[in-house]
Amino acid sequence: MKWNNLQSEACPVARGLSVIGDRWTLLVLRDCFMGVRRFEQMQERLGITRHVLADRLRKLEAAGVLRRELYQRHPPRHEYRLTDRGKAFYPVLVTLIDWANTHVPPPGAPSVTLVSRETRDPISPMLVDAKTGAQITHRTVRAVPTE
């Protein structure tokens, strides 16, 4: 299976990976959620080449995850904003952060702690079914092929 062909796969994991499936793309999205919107800021924070960053931003824009907005006319400069599709990725990112802090801990304290915006207290994410409120785990839910 070629990387470019993943978006047409029946498998939702493959289709999702066709949009966000490399480390630079995930780190670009992380920075967008942290309020980083400008190319130069992203490049400086990530230590990524201009070519690779431009490629990832183009792909995210084409996939409808980011949109470019002009913030300066002369010379033209754009910033990158999350679309509704991009914002919908946030729970996946939060889950990855929690998983990494738990199962791939850094030496010393974690660099990011998830906290409630309202109370500022640390939170522990949990995936639940919207209909029943039941926790979703490998023991309670399985993916089955659609017929």
Domains delineated in the chain: 3-87 (1.10.10.10)
* DSSP run (H or E) holding 84: helix 84-87
Question: What is the predicted pLDDT for the residue at 111?
Answer: 86
Question: Residue 122 forms beta bridges with which residues?
Answer: 115
Read off the pLDDT of each residue in 128-138 and give the average, rounded to a whole number. Answer: 96
Q: pLDDT tens, 96-108?
A: 999 999 999 888 8
Counting other chains too, the contacts that 70-78 makes at CB distance below 8 Å and 24 or more residues apart are 71/38, 77/38, 77/39, 78/39
Question: What is the predicted pLDDT for the residue at 126?
Answer: 95
Q: pLDDT tens, 37-91?
A: 999 999 999 999 999 999 999 999 999 999 999 999 999 999 999 999 999 999 9
Counting other chains too, the contacts that 69-75 makes at CB distance below 8 Å and 24 or more residues apart are 71/38
Residue 31 CA, distance from chain mean position = 9
pLDDT of residue 4 exceeding 80, the answer is no
Residue with tokens 């660099």: 111
